[in-house]
């Protein structure tokens, strides 16, 4: 850790790991997954915002000076875009696959958090 920016980024990725673990847990073991409707407009807007946020992060990456910051931004943007697409797919699949798709999105978040945390924790 050379500065507080890297420490904040590392803590941010730990939050993504925890959110991903929660999504995996709810997707695999939660019985109330089948009680929500992924075809509601609010869910569709949420997934579209997630995908746009990922696309924006992906496109901002070349303007970053440090190569490891650039790769971390590319990984982060790609994971948000991919998980947004997985969550958007919940609107078109049958409800029995909702838990599996939630767990897949959570797995993407966990993997993203671990990879970027490893990149940011590496000495310069």
**Cβ-based neighbours of 80, under 8 Å, separated by 6 or more:** 50, 51, 53, 54, 57
Residue-wise pLDDT for 12-50, tens only, equals 999 999 999 999 998 888 776 566 778 889 989 999 999
For the chain, the domain total comes to: 1
Rounded average pLDDT over 51-56:
95
Cα-based distances in Å from 55 to 79, 88, 120: 10, 15, 21
Please answer whether residues 107 and 83 qualify as being in contact, where contact means their C-beta atoms are separated by less than 8 angstroms.
no
Angle subtended at Cα 105 by Cα 100 and Cα 107, rounded to the nearest 5 degrees: 90
Q: What pLDDT score does 25 carry?
A: 92
Burial profile 78-89: b = 16 or more Cβ within 10 angstroms, e = fewer: bbbbbbbebbbe
Q: What is the pLDDT of residue 14?
A: 93
Task: Grade residue 96 by pLDDT with cuts at 50, 70 and 90.
Answer: confident
Residue 109 has pLDDT above 80, yes or no: yes
For the chain, give the mean pLDDT: 88
Give residue 64's domain range: 4-121
């Amino acid at each position: 850790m050379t500065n507080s920016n890297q420490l904040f980024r590392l803590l941010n990725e730990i939050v993504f790991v925890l959110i991903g673990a929660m999504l995996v847990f709810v997707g695999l073991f939660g019985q109330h997954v089948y009680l929500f409707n992924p075809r509601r407009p609010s869910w569709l807007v949420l997934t579209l915002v997630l995908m746009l946020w990922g696309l924006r992060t992906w496109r901002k990456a070349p303007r970053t000076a440090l190569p490891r910051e650039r790769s971390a931004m590319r990984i982060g943007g790609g994971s948000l875009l991919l998980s947004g697409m997985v969550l958007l797919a919940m609107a078109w699949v049958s409800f029995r696959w909702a838990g599996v798709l939630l767990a897949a999105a959570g797995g993407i978040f966990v993997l993203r958090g671990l990879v970027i945390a490893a990149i940011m924790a590496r000495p310069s």
